[in-house]
Amino acid sequence: MNGKSASRDKFKSRNGKIAMSKLTDREKEALINTVKEIYTYKLMQAKGYEKLVRKAKEQRAKQLLGHISTNEAKDCEHWRKNIEELGVIGRRSSGIFFMELKITLMMRILGTRGFFEWAIIAEDESIEELAIQAGNINDAATSEKWTRIASDERLHVERIKREVLGMEGWEMGGGGGVRDVILGANDGLVSILALMAGVYGATTETHPILIAGVAGAVAGAISMGTGAYLSSKSEKEVTEKENERKGIRKKRTPEEEKEKLVKLYRAKGFKEQEAEAIAERVSSRMELMAELTVGEEVGLTSEESWPPIKAAVLTGSSFAVASLIPILPFIFMDISLAVITAVIASIATLFAVGASKTLFSRKSWLRSGLEMMVIGTLAAVTTYAIGLAFHV
């Protein structure tokens, strides 16, 4: 590093410290937490693109992803310096390791596109929070600086949404897999626990309780799977119809594009050979102009909504697996012990499912877990009371 660069960095560092000294403790704490959040989401995206570069087989996709990955890494470095300016040390290597594990898990559950949508939306929300905090800073110069940073980042996010993910500003896509798994597991636990609690209130014999539980699990899994399939299929059909209304055409292969152009020029009076030659030149020029977004070229955008079959399988299977928790104790234990075990295991699992949801929703894990646990408990108590009213 030359003397001028070193002096400039030293000057910027000194100015940064002076600016930070003008913040109140509350302002600084809020700013640090938000900037760390933004950096985390940016780092997750950069690591995600790195994974895609390693997995890409086509050279064109590899180059495009490599370009995106490099830019995101530079952006991360810029935000790491912002964090250091606030007097906070960046992530340790152990933190990076666990982050990469989380990214791998989320990509498998959400899918590649879903993961990047989740991350960019989370980053967008954090930038909005930064803009609000910047506006509330008392020191005018510091407030103006962070407001400008938030404004610049908002433009960056909008560009990534459009060019890489193909998202409109209002879109909040992604997470279909999480929704289906959580929905299925929650319903499987709550409905089967409530059903068996109701039957137990009416009779204390193991056999009818077990039959009710198994029948409810099978019927519920089929019903949930079918409902998810029809819901996802309907959503897909509505989206396709809306795209047609807006004039958004389905993506065609180069061969299909060329064939369509040939027909067009044939209809205009050109001979077959002439039409093919013109179509070849036009389709080549369209490719050079990169008519598609970067995301379409590397496979991060998709005209397909969450596949109906996948939604059906995820919802139905998660319902079936979760419903086993209140059922299994009645197969291996006496009635009294089975009831206690089923209730404790089901409530604990409901809490775990609710808490794990915050991996994607970014809400309080304790609140989310307790919320799901309370709902399940109330449902079981209600049906048990109804069963008591019809006790044999």
Tally Cβ neighbours within 10 Å of residue 293: 15
Q: Sorting pLDDT into bands at 50, 70 and 90, what band is 178?
A: low
pLDDT in tens, 314-330: 889 999 999 999 999 99
Residues 325 and 213: their CA atoms lie apart, in Å, by: 10
More confident residue, 191 or 248: 191
Residues 36 and 46: their CA atoms lie apart, in Å, by: 15
pLDDT in tens, 25-81: 888 888 888 888 888 888 888 888 888 888 877 777 788 788 888 888 888 888 888
Report the range out of 53-62, 258-267, 276-285 with the highest average pLDDT: 53-62
pLDDT of residue 11: 36
Q: Where are the domains of the chain?
A: 17-165, 176-244+253-389
Report in angstroms the alpha-carbon separations of 297 from 154, 166, 250, 300: 24, 11, 14, 8
Task: For residue 249, give the amino acid letter.
Answer: R
Task: For residue 130, give the amino acid letter.
Answer: L
Residues 356 and 358: their CA atoms lie apart, in Å, by: 5
Q: Sorting pLDDT into bands at 50, 70 and 90, what band is 340?
A: very high
Question: Using alpha carbons only, how large is the chain's radius of gyration in Å?
Answer: 28
Question: For all residues of the chain together, what is the average pLDDT?
Answer: 77
Residues 238 and 240: their CA atoms lie apart, in Å, by: 5
Residue 4 has pLDDT above 50, yes or no: no
Q: Which residues contact 222 (CB under 8 A, 6 or more apart)?
A: 316
Pick from 347, 330, 349: which is nearest to 339 by CA? 330
pLDDT in tens, 67-118: 888 888 888 888 888 888 777 765 565 678 888 888 888 777 777 777 887 7
As separate numbers, helices (DSSP H) first and strands (DSSP E) second, the chain gives 16, 0
Q: What is the dihedral of CA 302, 303, 306, 308, to 10 degrees?
A: -140
205-209, 240-244, 355-359, 369-373: which range is least confident on average? 240-244
CATH topology of domain 17-165: Ferritin (1.20.1260)
Residue 172 has pLDDT above 70, yes or no: no
Residues 170 and 176: their CA atoms lie apart, in Å, by: 17
Residues 244 and 233: their CA atoms lie apart, in Å, by: 17
Q: Please give the average per-residue pLDDT across 350-368, as a whole number.
A: 76
pLDDT in tens, 131-163: 888 888 888 888 888 888 888 888 888 877 776
pLDDT of residue 93: 57
Report the range out of 294-303, 330-339, 358-367 with the highest average pLDDT: 330-339
Phi/psi zone of residue 292: left (φ > 0), alpha (ψ -120 to 50 degrees), beta?
beta
Report in angstroms the alpha-carbon separations of 264 from 91, 117, 248, 272: 58, 38, 19, 11
